[in-house]
């Protein structure tokens, strides 16, 4: 399906891990929460284009470009 983004973002993984921990479920290295965190990290590192990554990059670029102008 074109345009369908089903990739795990870091904020998705964080929300899942928090929910699992609050529910008393395992959050260790082989848990669902750990696997979602790993997927979110891999997608962010691969430039998956999540909202978090996009905002973070634009903030860095604008602050460095404003520094360069001074």
> What's the DSSP call for residue 70?
-
For the segment 13-63, what is each residue's pLDDT rounded down to a tens digit? 999 999 999 999 998 999 999 999 999 999 999 884 545 544 444 444 444
Has residue 4 been placed in a domain? no
Q: Report the number of distinct structural domains present in the chain.
A: 1
What DSSP letter does each residue of 1-58 carry, written as one string? Answer: -TT---PPPHHHHHHHHHHHHHTT---STTSHHHHHHHHHHHHHHTT---HHHHHHHH
Q: Supply the pLDDT for residue 62.
A: 41
Q: Supply the pLDDT for residue 46.
A: 87
Query: Phi-psi region for residue 8, left (φ > 0), alpha (ψ -120 to 50) or beta?
Result: beta
Residue 70 scores a pLDDT above 60: no
Q: Supply the pLDDT for residue 5.
A: 75
Domain that holds residue 20: 10-69
Residue 65 scores a pLDDT above 90: no
Q: Supply the pLDDT for residue 3.
A: 61
Has residue 28 been placed in a domain? yes
């Amino acid at each position: 399906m074109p345009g369908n983004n089903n990739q795990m973002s870091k904020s998705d993984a964080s929300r899942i891990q928090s929910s699992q921990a609050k529910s008393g479920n395992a959050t260790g290295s082989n848990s669902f929460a750990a696997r979602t965190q790993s997927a979110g990290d891999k997608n962010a590192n691969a430039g998956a284009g999540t909202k978090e990554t996009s905002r973070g990059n634009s903030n860095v670029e604008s602050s460095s470009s404003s520094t360069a102008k001074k």
